[in-house]
Chains A and B, each alone.
Chain A
Amino acid sequence: MVKRHGIRETTGDRIFMAVIYAVLAVVLVVLLYPLLHILAASFSSSQAVIQGKVTVFPVEPTLLAYKTLFENKLIYVGFGNTFFYTIVGTILQVSLTILLAYPLSRKEFVGRTFLMMAIVLTMFFEGGLIPTYLIVRDLGILDTRWALIIPKALFVWQVLISVTFFKTTIPEEIYESAQLDGCSDTGFLRRVVLPLSKPIIAVLVLMYAVANWNSYFDALIYLQSSDLFPLQLVLRNILVMNETAHLSPAVVYQMRKLQGLSDLLKYALIVVSSVPILVFYPFVQKHFVKGMMIGSLKG
């Protein structure tokens, strides 16, 4: 405290920064090592995997796992279904979110306080698993593609983010002058709000799309026909339930031939199913961060 070096750092500060960087380096290694290990294992030979020889470099590199994987129909069906659920689901979710959030952001909308409270309440009060399941069943959409789309057509948290966004970014003057020009509310939404809302739409699309891509539990309870299964449910059966026989009989035969192919296949499956999101994500990371920020503004 007595020393006044001004700009130059004290020894204490240097040690402090060294500790900060060291801890961060350890954190990064702990996060990256498992990911690189999976990548390496998926390119290694099944012998190397079974003996636990793989670290972060492939041992006896081979593409065997990927070849076997892409030979079976289940993976393609899973990917196809997941694309369908992700695209259709996201479009519906984003549309409904905006339809609800925009009027809620306007003070001319009589009843918005009541509606807002009714919506926020559902975040704390939930009907729970079984009543929801029975309603989905009573609607007659069990074991159809709709069962994975309609019951989660809207997330409350995303509506709240959007309301905050609309409230803070759409200038009041534009609304007033549009009103004077006789612009209707739907016209205003279409011509003014939507073009100004690209950032929030990007955030919504990303949040919903990732949630849709990654979800498995809805499929587990609502679906029976395996040709409707999304990728995550196929993955669950193979990775977790160990139902490797799900992969065609030819694979089972090969498995007997090459013991340990099953583990190898799991590593390759993890890579194949997660790469689309992990490669995509650094490009859109800032939107996610923005979404969290808008959300925290609210709280």
Chain B
Amino acid sequence: MRITLRKKEERGHLKTAAVDASAQAVPRAVKARKNWRLVRKHWQFYLLVLPPVLYIVIFKYLPIVGMQMAFREYNVRDGMWGSKWVGLHYFVSFFNSPLFWNIFGNTIEISVATLIFTFPAPIILALILNEVRDGFFKRFSQTVTLAPHFISVVVMAGMIILFLDPRNGLLPQVLGWFGVPSSNYLASPAGFKFVYALSEVWQHAGYASIIYLAALAGINPELYEAAKMDGASRWKKVLHIDIPGIALVITILLILQIGELTAVGFEKILLLQNPINQPGSEVIATYVYKVGLVSANYSFGTAIGIFNSVINFILLFAVNGIARRVSGNSLW
């Protein structure tokens, strides 16, 4: 701001280009000196951030640098920094492995199924809760919808296994009331993604709806007043005020969710896996765990992990680009 003002003055006096350059250089030197004074005065800030910064360097950045071991043939003696360089060897052997297309396909299928079910559910729930009159019932509903979020993933997996038990589980029992024959959903590779996605909706839709409720609460009340004057029905208000009012939040969350598409719920998938559903439930992340850690193929596992991150990045950029074109809203 200050610089632009000064430039205008200078233009008025018809200064030469050389003077212009020096005029810019002076504030930079002044700024550096001012910064140095600030650093000396507020040295305690640097002391405070030292422990957390140390943590971030060791546990966040060191592993990123450590990813170069995907290009080495890891052995215990030389460690992750000194083992023999083998280039793309492990990437090539992953792409050529007979399991590659199966695992890759499962990852995409489970992610897409999860997105399709988990993305709209919280939006609908928030729109519904937003219509309910304030009072006990509303508070009760919010408490109940939020509660499953706090169940641990282990307990959740245990519940799913118990509920889907074809002999005496809850789901076959309830389906029986409606005359649907029971089936062992956890023993079906094709059914796995639905078990996974629907249980995600059950557990997290309430929690995810909070952000939309916040966005709905932030809509300008004058819009509702105006709609009332025009005699709009409640349905019309939802359609023409609520949904456009949260469209930006919807876009942002959609982009973010697609950006971590292949990262979904690996801990839960690992827990729900069994030898029978494995052809439909083995995803990149569980494979990394099994091959990389359990079988101690560290380099191979790291290479697959990198492949996973690269896919996420491509998706994030692609979706962001599409969103910008289509709706004008995007992350950057």
Q: Which residues of A contact B (CB under 8 A)?
A: 1, 3-4, 10, 12-13, 16-17, 20-21, 23-24, 27-28, 30-35, 37-38, 49-52, 55, 96-97, 99-100, 102-104, 106, 108-110, 115, 118-119, 122, 124-135, 138-139, 150-151, 153-154, 159, 184-186, 189, 210, 213-217, 221, 232-233, 235-236, 239-240, 263, 266-267, 269-270, 273-274, 277-278, 281-282, 285, 288-289, 292-293, 296, 299
Contacts and interface: CB of A to CB of B under 8 A. Distances in A.
Interface in B124-161: 125, 128-129, 131-132, 141-148, 150-155, 157-159, 161
Nearest to A2: B231
Interface in B3-60: 35, 38-39, 41-42, 44-49, 51-53, 55-56, 58-60
B178 interface: no
B309 A216 contact: no
B128 A31 contact: no
Given A37-B170, A52-B173, A130-B305, A135 B58 contact: yes
Interface stretch (B92-100, B104-112, B286-294): B286-294
Interface stretch (B64-72, B188-196, B275-283, B321-329): B64-72
Contacts of B172: 52
Main secondary structure of the interface of B (DSSP, over half): helix
Nearest to A159: B52
Q: Which 10 residue pairs spanning A and B have beta carbons closest together?
A: A127-B63, A239-B158, A131-B66, A52-B168, A214-B152, A100-B52, A128-B305, A131-B63, A103-B45, A185-B44
B35 to A, nearest CB: 5
Contacts of B210: 288-289, 292-293
A153 B55 contact: yes
Given A50-B168, A99-B48, A127-B63, A235 B155 contact: yes
Contacts of A52: 167-169, 172-173
A213 B155 CA distance: 12
Chain B interface residue count: which class? Answer: 35 or more
Interface of B: 35, 38-39, 41-42, 44-49, 51-53, 55-56, 58-67, 69, 79-80, 125, 128-129, 131-132, 141-148, 150-155, 157-159, 161-163, 165, 167-170, 172-174, 202, 206-207, 210-211, 214-215, 230-231, 233-235, 249, 252, 259, 267, 270-271, 285, 288-289, 292-293, 298, 301-302, 305-306, 308-309, 313, 316
